[in-house]
Amino acid sequence: MLFKDVRDYQILFLSSFLILGIGTKDWTLKPELIVVLLLTCLISQWFNEEIKTYLLTKKLVLANPLKLHSLRSAIITALGLSLLLRADSYLTMILAGFSAVSSKFIFKFNDKHFFNPANFGIISVLTLTPDAWVSPGQWGDDWWYAFLFFGTGGIILKQVGRWDTSVVFLSAYAGLEAVRNIWLGWTIDVFLHRLMSGSLLLFALFMLTDPRSIPSAKSSRYIWAICIAVLTFVLRNQFFVPTAIFWSLFALAPLTIILDIIWTAPKFSWLQANNKSLLVTKTSDDLYNGSAKCRSHPHAYKYNLADG
């Protein structure tokens, strides 16, 4: 059922952002490229799930794609790519979608992927193709976009418990920009202009906080977010890389492995997050009974497999 999974809200918000961007910012987006990207991500998710199941069970049983819980994650990846990535050819979008989803199954440690899928897809096509680009300034710096992103992002982050990661990243990055602004003698308008970028806020609230790929422990997330903020600041201001936020996240993604080894914590599960979001309507006994049924359900393994 819709909106009983936290990801349903994320799909709704990202879809709304896409429609809003096309309607108010006159983006040069081709609808057919978005459709190709969405289909690629969905098919890639189903294909990789089947390969994983076969490698684990040595049985080839084609599952009904519509029953995979993880299709929500594939849709989120496709929407994230549609919001940030631009390309001229179908092949580039297909490569972006396939590499993004496949990275979750290939680059894993302790059964946890450490690259953000959409970010991996963006870096892949920026590196391997000549016609892909990202436009960090496409949202401009209007205040009402900032309030919209903070409001919707806060709803999601409250449910998954990762709001602190965004706060630490934005605080660290804002602090560095403030010091630079004061050092250069610039006005407050310059400082606010650099912080109110819609793409920066989208990154901080919806990409940086992917609970399935970032460090599990709270202290680890703080260190990780600060490192990304510092590298983003250096790349943007010292090397003048306009896509610094994406390269920083990509370069420091493997740091998640080290931090998870040093500070251990339970891995994030969408099933657990969804149970927490229903606490207002269910008693603790209901939750316990539901969990017991899930553990004893003959297809419980399939649900866990499709959590990603």
Per-residue pLDDT tens over the stretch 44-56: 999 999 999 889 8
pLDDT confidence of residue 67: 64
Query: Residue 117 in contact with residue 211, Cβ under 8 Å?
Result: no
pLDDT confidence of residue 144: 81
Q: What is the pTM of this model?
A: 0.86
Q: How confident is the model at residue 103 (pLDDT cuts 50, 70, 90)?
A: very high
Q: How confident is the model at residue 275 (pLDDT cuts 50, 70, 90)?
A: low
Query: Residue 303 in contact with residue 63, Cβ under 8 Å?
Result: no
Identify the residue with better confidence: 289 or 210. Answer: 210
DSSP assignment letter at 205: I
The whole-angstrom separation of Cα 228 and Cα 226 is: 5
**Average predicted confidence (pLDDT) for the chain:** 85
Identify the residue with better confidence: 91 or 31. Answer: 91
The whole-angstrom separation of Cα 140 and Cα 262 is: 39
Identify the residue with better confidence: 280 or 233. Answer: 233
134 phi and psi angles, rounded to 5 deg: -125, 140
Domain segments of the chain as ranges: 6-134
Q: What is the pLDDT of residues 20-36, one digit of tens each?
A: 888 887 667 788 999 99
Scored b (16 or more CB within 10 A) or e, 46-57 reads: bebbbeebeeee
The whole-angstrom separation of Cα 80 and Cα 84 is: 6
pLDDT confidence of residue 289: 46
| pLDDT over 60 at 91, yes or no | yes
| pLDDT over 90 at 281, yes or no | no
Q: What is the mean pLDDT of residues 169-175?
A: 97
Instruction: State the sign of the Cα–Cα–Cα–Cα dihedral 252, 254, 257, 262.
Output: negative
SS3 166: helix
Q: What angle do CA 7, 201, 18 make, to 5 degrees?
A: 55
The whole-angstrom separation of Cα 47 and Cα 101 is: 10
Query: Residue 38 in contact with residue 75, Cβ under 8 Å?
Result: yes
pLDDT confidence of residue 118: 97
Q: What is the CA radius of gyration of the chain?
A: 20
**Which residues share a beta bridge with 113?**
108
Residue 125's alpha-carbon distances to 43, 129, 134, 187, 199, in angstroms, are 19, 5, 10, 37, 19
| pLDDT over 70 at 99, yes or no | yes
Q: How confident is the model at residue 215 (pLDDT cuts 50, 70, 90)?
A: very high
| pLDDT over 80 at 299, yes or no | no
Q: What is the pLDDT of residues 135-163, one digit of tens each?
A: 777 777 677 888 888 899 988 888 888 89
Identify the residue with better confidence: 308 or 35. Answer: 35
